[in-house]
Structure 1
Amino acid sequence: MIKKFDLNIEKILEDWEIHHAVREIIANAIDEELLTKSEEIEIFKDDGNSWHIRDYGRGINSEHLTQKENDEKIKSAHTIGKFGIGLKDALATFDRKGVEVSIKSRHINMTLERTNKHGFADIVTLHANITPSSDKGFRGTEFILKNCPDIQIEEAKGLFLRFSGEEILEETPIGQVLKKESETARIYINGVQVAQEDNFLFSYNITELNQTIKKALNRERTNVGRTAYTDRVKSILKKCQSETVARKLVDDLSRYDTGEQHDELTWTDIAVHACKLCNERSRVVFFTSEEVISSPNLVDRVQRDQYEVVVIPQNIKKKISGNADFSGNPIRDVGQFTRDWNESFKFSFVTEDQLKPGELRVYEQTDKILSLIGGKPGNVKDILISRTMRLDKETYYEVGGLWEPQEGRIVIRYDNLKDLGSYAGILLHEIAHARSGAIDCTRKFENELTDLLGIVIQQTIG
């Protein structure tokens, strides 16, 4: 006994292709799998070249052909369908494109037919021919599609994350970061593609929708604009904690100077988040391109200490400088690295018997140099030589010498013994600090240094 169910469809969604209709059938099957926690859906081709899409849920019934919101799906945060119209859209598209459809479940068997609308002989609409099920023990729902090109099935499957082959790099409570499988990134919502991005670093699957996305989702679930999902993508990235995602973000950020970074890294809050993650998980030091050029010695030192140099834009440096990562550790930019290095620094002192003959001859002139200024100041107890030296806070080079008032000693870098002029200049510079008690670039220090120069000249040619 055949019942004819009028679908009230003449022409609808004429721009839809077969793969759009197949997408709706697959989406409904996945939703049923999710809601009933049943076995994974199957998509296969039989010996007669017909395609089958089957779930193992509760089975389709006549009432599913009515157009209404699905309360069960609306209450579920992760289902795909909501509005109860996708099935009718799909059936209409199949009919228009010449795909023969049959459907079976334990409740009904169904085929499609165009026939006169009841009571209106001049109007032809699409009807579902419904008969009682031939297999009351059948589990789930099976769609059988005859004359459906293989390429349309593959294109439809490609719209779903589970068939895309894209690897999940990190999962957060609101979505997943995916390793994109081609040049074009994909944006998924609950596993269904809704947009593509030509210049995104990752693909994304948004699993917790906000109101902006809900309003933007159209009937076709395609070509959703970036403004709808940008905030959700940012939120997903800011919840990421893995080194894998952080490294990819920071590596991409370092391409800023070439203009080749991806769009996510043009978002300042994402770039800062990536730096914090990378600082926490990796041995890195953040440089600007200007610092790399002006401080090659520091680059070498960083690399010798087995840190990686990561180049970031100046605006991001301003955001991270002086801040901490997620574990409370100071972010290692150039200034922080220098401070850390100086705090952990240890002198490598050289004794007189370790000096080469030429170096020793220079060092032995110490008392003679000091005699030109009236002798060693009383607060200077020792004048020492070291192979290592602290870094200058401005230039990041090792300083030539140091006055350490707490220890009452002057320490001069070993390579200044290469000639008398270098050694004498550094020695008198540090004597000026010891006599004045002032630091570099102050009026008091400059006046003391000027006085010393005058005394030396007076003693030598006066």
Structure 2
Amino acid sequence: MTFMRKILDALTIESPKAMTDSADVDYPSENSSPTKEPIKGSIINNTGKSISYPKVTDAFLWECNSVAESRNNEKNDDYLKQQRNFFVENSEYDNIGLDDTPEILQNNITSHTVLGEFDLNIEKILENWEVYHAIREIISNALDEQVLTGTQEIDIYQASDNWWHVRDYGRGLNYHHLTQNENEEKLSNDKLIGRFGVGLKDALATLYRHNVKVKIRSKYGIITLKNAAKTGFEDIVTLHAEIFPPDDSSLVGTDFCFYGCDGSDVEKAKSLFLKFTENTVLEETKYGQVLTNNDTEKNIYINGVKVAGEPNFLFSYNITSLTLQIKKALNRERTNVGRSAYTARIKDILKECSSQTVINKLIYDLQEFSSGNRHDELTWNDIALHASVQLNAINTSTTFVTTRDLQQTPSLIDDMERNGFSPIVIPDNLLSKIADYNAINKRPLITAEQYVLNEKAHMNPTIIDPTSLSFSEQEVYYKTELLLGLIGGKPQNVNEIHIIDSFSNSECFNGTLGLWIKESGRILIKRTELRSLSAYAGTLLHECAHAISGADDVSRDFELELSSMLGSLAAKVVIGK
């Protein structure tokens, strides 16, 4: 029997001892002196140590392949070819070429030779994980590798033998990737899904726990799973990865194979990824994408993987620019990330939007406040203000009123509608945001207050000459200086105090007895208030209070009560009653 035939025959024996004890072959021991030249019956590893074969011939071939491919180490690659030539020269198969020989060896080796066992050393098993969670991790790793390497789309399919495959076309996985470390390459890239370096191990443990067979193939080898005793602790059994030589040293990427799960598990896992859903991108911003679909539930994605569901959101979102808060909130399981982690970024996305489709949906939803059908995004004042500004840009006759305005000044709302304005009801807490916006913008949003201010600016009432007043009216009017003396004299910002017949045809001034006009520094008082000193005094001092404080009325009831109290007090002081 030739030397090559004895090698091939020996490779069919599973026992390492039987392999090393094959007859008629002079195998050096593992303690033989190092040599730089290949010797018959042995092989030189990359440390220069002579190791007997066929026991580890496959190990050497696999190791050299791995090193040559992953590190572009030409020395090891050349040495691998040298060993192959050595096999050919000692073989009776003269027609076997250099490229064919390793394949023949590998076909015999792969089924029987374990290169090593790797303790996965998983300290905490995610007991709540189902099979689909594990498949999600496998898919996310494949998608990350696609992004990192710029390679073609991944494939997910079930073969005729019922094994499922998740295949990427990147650099290929080897046992080093099973170490439990944070992946620096992924941590530095915000476009990736995985960040913790433990997702793959969690997936393997979950699949094994659910009796799903696993085989990970790459040009570096084949990885399977088994339970084995922990090194040095025979009574502790943990999950180990078995490392075999590759069955295809030219395989591009990683082929993650698993058997024993339902197709529904795969579909459920795929549904957690944006690219496998029917979502439509409505608009893309520098912070992320606004999405919509036909589902009632909207979802939050981070770099394309679902992290939360939002049943009362207007849109779905894919966040592609991560904040520090989001990074901290991304837990090991990548599920049920709290809303507080991503709210700020969703606001950023919406405030960047300018497409008519998104803006129209925001505007429509803004107007749903009174019906109670508003979505959660519009409960955020920042977004409600953004929608209000966009609505005002489209329809300048829009006015923004509150439920309080509807209840306390219905005539004002009627006046708006009669003058061609379109009031929409907004929550009370949005008013302060609008006030801040109006303070720094030349094109203010029209609230009830702003509407009254605008009406004041356009008002041109007829001022009554005091000499044309009746005797009783003059008697009250000429006590103006005395009344002002009660508050320390006329306020400095009050230029004039006038008596008028009426304010305006606008119903927004129906029931108005006095008015402070800041812009011109005038106090206007309706002639009817001269019917009595208490009525006039109350209205005069009331408007002086506006001038001094710069504050508006809190409510109509408060305003009337204040006027009555001030009038009674003033009358008592003046006439001594």
TM-score where L is the length of structure 1: 0.68
Q: CA deviation at 1:293?
A: 6.0
Q: CA deviation at 1:31?
A: 0.6
Q: Is the counterpart of residue 214 in structure 1 residue 354 in structure 2? A: no
Aligned pairs for 1:194-273 (under 5 A) are 194-273=307-386
Q: Contact 1:279/1:325 (CA < 8 Å) preserved in 2?
A: no
2:203 to 86, 90, 93: 90
Q: Distance in 2 between matches of 1:236 and 1:326?
A: 23
Q: Contact 1:276/1:324 (CA < 8 Å) preserved in 2?
A: no
Q: Is the counterpart of residue 129 in structure 1 residue 242 in structure 2? A: yes
Q: Which has the higher contact order (CA 8 A, sep 6+)?
A: 1
Q: Distance in 2 between matches of 1:169 and 1:326?
A: 31
Q: Contact 1:286/1:312 (CA < 8 Å) preserved in 2?
A: no
Q: CA deviation at 1:266?
A: 1.6
Query: In the superposition, relative to structure 1, how do residues 318 and 72 fare at CA in structure 2: closer, same or farther (>3 Å)?
Result: closer
Q: Indicate the SS of the match to 2:268.
A: helix
Q: Which residue of 2 aligns with 1:186?
A: 299
Q: CA deviation at 1:302?
A: 3.5
Query: In the superposition, relative to structure 1, how do residues 322 and 182 fare at CA in structure 2: closer, same or farther (>3 Å)?
Result: same
Q: Is the counterpart of residue 161 in structure 1 residue 161 in structure 2? A: no
Q: CA deviation at 1:72?
A: 0.8
Q: Contact 1:170/1:178 (CA < 8 Å) preserved in 2?
A: yes
Q: Distance in 1 between matches of 2:436 and 2:150?
A: 50
2:430 to 301, 316, 335: 316
**Structure 2 gaps, min length 5:** 1-112, 459-503, 511-521, 531-577
Q: Contact 2:301/2:318 (CA < 8 Å) preserved in 1?
A: yes
User: What residue identity is the alignment partner of 2:364?
Assistant: D
Q: Percent identity?
A: 48
Q: Which residue of 1 aligns with 2:417?
A: 299
Q: Distance in 1 between matches of 2:161 and 2:326?
A: 42
User: Pairwise CA RMSD of aligned residues?
Assistant: 3.6
Query: In the superposition, relative to structure 1, how do residues 10 and 231 fare at CA in structure 2: closer, same or farther (>3 Å)?
Result: closer
Q: Contact 1:243/1:278 (CA < 8 Å) preserved in 2?
A: no
Q: Indicate the SS of the match to 1:29.
A: helix
Q: Which residue of 1 aligns with 2:134?
A: 21
Q: Contact 2:191/2:320 (CA < 8 Å) preserved in 1?
A: yes
Q: Indicate the SS of the match to 1:33.
A: helix
Q: Contact 2:228/2:240 (CA < 8 Å) preserved in 1?
A: yes
Aligned pairs for 1:30-429 (under 5 A) are 30-281=143-394, 285-288=398-401, 290=405, 294=411, 295-296=413-414, 298-299=416-417, 302=420, 310-317=424-431, 319-320=433-434, 323=437, 329-331=443-445, 392=505, 395=508
Q: Which residue of 2 aligns with 1:402?
A: none
Q: Deviations over 1:319-368 (max 9, x none)?
A: 43695699964435578789999999xxxxxxxxxxxxxxxxxxxxxxxx
Q: CA deviation at 1:226?
A: 1.8
Q: Distance in 2 between matches of 1:236 and 1:250?
A: 16
Q: CA deviation at 1:166?
A: 1.8
Q: Which residue of 2 aligns with 1:348?
A: none
Query: In the superposition, relative to structure 1, how do residues 114 and 301 fare at CA in structure 2: closer, same or farther (>3 Å)?
Result: same
Q: Distance in 1 between matches of 2:156 and 2:397?
A: 48
Q: CA deviation at 1:310?
A: 4.2
TM-score where L is the length of structure 2: 0.55
Query: In the superposition, relative to structure 1, how do residues 180 and 301 fare at CA in structure 2: closer, same or farther (>3 Å)?
Result: farther
**Structure 1 gaps, min length 5:** 345-390, 398-438, 448-462
Aligned length: 361
Q: Indicate the SS of the match to 2:398.
A: strand
Q: Contact 1:115/1:124 (CA < 8 Å) preserved in 2?
A: yes
1:442 to 525, 528, 536: 525
Q: Indicate the SS of the match to 2:399.
A: strand
Query: In the superposition, relative to structure 1, how do residues 442 and 152 fare at CA in structure 2: closer, same or farther (>3 Å)?
Result: same
Q: Which residue of 2 aligns with 1:388?
A: none
User: What residue identity is the alignment partner of 2:149?
Assistant: T
Q: Distance in 2 between matches of 1:100 and 1:322?
A: 62
